[in-house]
Chain A
Amino acid sequence: MRQIYLDHASTTPVRPEVVEAMAPYFTEHFGNPSSIYPLGQEASDAVAAARESLASLIGATPREIFFSSGGTESDNWALKGFARANATKGRHIITSAIEHHAVLHTCEALEREGFEVTYLPVDEHGLVSVEDFKAAIRPDTILASIMFANNEIGTIEPIRELAAAAHEASVAFHTDAVQAFGHEPIDVNELGIDMLSASSHKIYGPKGVGLLYVRRGVKLQNLLDGGQQERGRRGSTENVPGIVGFARAAELAAEEIVPERDRQLALRDHAIRRILEEIPSAKLNGSWESRLANNVNFSFEFIEGEGMLLQLATRGICVSSGSACTSGSLDPSHVLLAIGLPHEIAHGSLRMTLGRDTTREDVDFAVDSLKATLQNLRMMSPLYEDFQQGKVESVIERFKADGFPYAN
């Protein structure tokens, strides 16, 4: 059966060029970068070249790039490291309600250490308001962390404006750019970003490697104490093949970043339009205007997400959902609840995230399969039966009545 992978926000396949670049660092160049003989030097040079390459892609200097085990570690490091190193200046942190759990759960851990955290709400499109942000800043605010783009609904936040507002009040600004790095052009100086988290496996690189950009002068405590790796900031022998692969993947992404984004954007809009035109009781989640080029996220009424995912999987389509049943927790996605979705339609959400290999045929096949799947599940649904008999009202109708534009 043909497999159509539409879950690129979850992870991506490693590009063959990346595997090729990594391979020698498992075998002939296997040395430890800390060793002084040539084998070690080769590895050390490779890490330095990767650092330089990644720095140049975001307008940073190599000394501002620190390698980590991935986005989660980078977020932990940025938040815990900064908060602990700057606690004497203040103990208040600002973030948003729709952050990834790598940020949200880190903030909760910091609250247990005595820090105070403001979780800013978002509007129905998933956007953080710059006014709300400014209003949340207090004399003791030391750090703000707002994601570049949301992993579930793809909303791109007003990073430039938020960073500027933070700086006006001498608050450091971190962004979790895991979903945007390598997909949207990012220049840390132009945008005023002080710290940025990125991950390799979202950009066709290997899993288990990421980076934290830390602007020169920003003080962080170590998260991992150990050897002198990363200039004494993070002990642990460098993941040399991973770092080499990450840099190669980022270079390849940079070569095609704008044309590939525009190509995916056209496919995304095609999918969104088709769903809105052809599937009743459907609502686009997130913003259409300020949205990652690869993200399609809908709620469908009267059905539950896991059933939809399983049926689509039997047709070879790999997608994800914010339903409780797919995460194994009682509540549906915190992001969908934060944009104001009632539980019953948050359970019926579907995320399709496109990638480099996605074609228009793939998108059409996915939408056709989705139509068939929904029809099938709705025929089985007691809620749909009640709706057709006029016994219950449609939740999505309410959104339309309230003026939400992208619903059918």
Chain B
Amino acid sequence: MAMNYSDKVMEHFTNPQNVGEIENASGCGTVGNAVCGDIMRVYLDIDENNVIRDAKFKTFGCGAAIATSSMATVLVKGKTVQEALEVTNKAVMEALDGLPPVKVHCSLLAEEAIHAALWDYAEKNGIVIEGLEKPVSDISEHDHGHGDEDDE
């Protein structure tokens, strides 16, 4: 199936921002699973004013999974923890000029990965982030479309 990715998605896929790890990160979250074909891990470095100084990611997944992780880390960098919560999957999609319908779940996973990292930060520091719910660590029920290969 040919993927109609926007130029922005291709830009973030071919030249992803913030790939890597953060040692002694303030928060780290991993979501997804290998069986479904996508896993995202986000590291956040958060300063004493609750501002996200740095964000890094590692992703196992398709082009859209890599592009949404990249964009999500770009969007939360420099924001406060509260502001970062407003970086929804819709915001990630809009910033990427849209995603093909079968790839919308990638943006949900990116949002979930940020939330997982924030949850880890909150737990480590014994604080409650208003509006943050415990993330689902294993999003296996995501909504893929159905299609066939085309060899005949």
Residues of B within 8 A of A101 (CB): 148-149, 152
Give the distance in Å from the alpha carbon of A178 to the alpha carbon of B151 in the complex: 9
Which of A75, A320, A342, A382 makes the CB contact (< 8 A) with B60? A382
A323/B62 in contact, CB under 8 A: yes
B36 at the interface (CB under 8 A from A): yes
Nearest Cβ on chain A to B36's Cβ, whole angstroms: 7
Give the distance in Å from the alpha carbon of A385 to the alpha carbon of B149 in the complex: 31
B65 at the interface (CB under 8 A from A): yes
Give A residues with C-beta under 8 Å from B: 9-10, 70-72, 75, 100-102, 151-152, 176, 178-179, 199, 302-307, 310-311, 314, 320, 322-330, 332-333, 342-344, 347, 379-385
B1 at the interface (CB under 8 A from A): yes
B59/A381 in contact, CB under 8 A: yes
Q: Which of B21, B62, B152 neighbours the largest number of chain A CB atoms within 10 Å of its CB?
A: B152
A311/B152 in contact, CB under 8 A: no
Which of B38, B63, B147, B151 makes the CB contact (< 8 A) with A310? B63
B146/A330 in contact, CB under 8 A: yes
29 contacts across the A-B interface (CB closer than 8 A): A9-B151, A72-B152, A75-B152, A101-B148, A176-B152, A304-B61, A306-B3, A310-B10, A310-B14, A328-B145, A328-B146, A329-B145, A330-B144, A330-B146, A343-B34, A343-B35, A343-B36, A343-B37, A379-B19, A380-B58, A380-B60, A381-B58, A381-B59, A382-B30, A382-B58, A382-B59, A382-B60, A383-B34, A385-B41
A347/B149 in contact, CB under 8 A: no
Please give me the residue from chain A that is nearest to B143 by CB atom. A330
Residues A324 and B152 in contact in the complex (CB < 8 Å), given A330-B36, A381-B58? no
Residues of A within 8 A of B10 (CB): 310
Please give me the residue from chain A that is nearest to B70 by CB atom. A380
Give B residues with C-beta under 8 Å from A: 1, 3, 10, 13-14, 16, 19, 21, 30, 34-41, 58-63, 65-66, 102, 144-152
Which of A152, A322, A328 makes the CB contact (< 8 A) with B144? A328
B146/A304 in contact, CB under 8 A: no
Residues of A within 8 A of B148 (CB): 101, 327, 329
Give the distance in Å from the alpha carbon of A38 to the alpha carbon of B112 in the complex: 71
Residues of A within 8 A of B61 (CB): 304, 307, 325
Which of A176, A306, A320, A342 makes the CB contact (< 8 A) with B62? A306
B62/A325 in contact, CB under 8 A: yes
List the 3 shortest-distance A-B pairs measured between CB atoms, nearest first. Answer: A328-B147, A306-B62, A344-B34
Q: How many A-B residue pairs have CB under 8 A?
A: 113
Give the distance in Å from the alpha carbon of A330 to the alpha carbon of B148 in the complex: 11
A151/B58 in contact, CB under 8 A: no
Please give me the residue from chain A that is nearest to B35 by CB atom. A343
A380/B59 in contact, CB under 8 A: yes
Please give me the residue from chain A that is nearest to B38 by CB atom. A304
A303/B60 in contact, CB under 8 A: yes
Nearest Cβ on chain B to A176's Cβ, whole angstroms: 8
Residues of B within 8 A of A199 (CB): 152
Give the distance in Å from the alpha carbon of A405 to the alpha carbon of B29 in the complex: 37
Residues of B within 8 A of A307 (CB): 13, 61-63, 65-66
Residues A311 and B58 in contact in the complex (CB < 8 Å), given A328-B147, A343-B37, A383-B39? no
Give the distance in Å from the alpha carbon of A199 to the alpha carbon of B152 in the complex: 8
Nearest Cβ on chain B to A233's Cβ, whole angstroms: 21
A324/B145 in contact, CB under 8 A: no
Residues of B within 8 A of A323 (CB): 37, 62
B145/A347 in contact, CB under 8 A: no
Residues A327 and B152 in contact in the complex (CB < 8 Å), given A304-B61, A385-B21? no
Residues of A within 8 A of B63 (CB): 306-307, 310
B149/A333 in contact, CB under 8 A: yes
Give the distance in Å from the alpha carbon of A334 to the alpha carbon of B58 in the complex: 28
Please give me the residue from chain B that is nearest to A320 by CB atom. B149
Which of A176, A320, A347, A380 makes the CB contact (< 8 A) with B37? A347
Nearest Cβ on chain B to A326's Cβ, whole angstroms: 7
Nearest Cβ on chain B to A389's Cβ, whole angstroms: 10
Give the distance in Å from the alpha carbon of A343 to the alpha carbon of B35 in the complex: 5
Please give me the residue from chain A that is nearest to B150 by CB atom. A10
16 additional contacts, CB 8 Å, given A304-B62, A330-B36, A380-B19?
A9-B151, A10-B151, A71-B152, A100-B151, A151-B151, A176-B152, A179-B151, A302-B60, A305-B62, A314-B14, A327-B149, A328-B146, A328-B147, A380-B60, A381-B60, A383-B60
Residues of A within 8 A of B66 (CB): 307, 380
A332/B37 in contact, CB under 8 A: yes
Residues of A within 8 A of B65 (CB): 304, 307
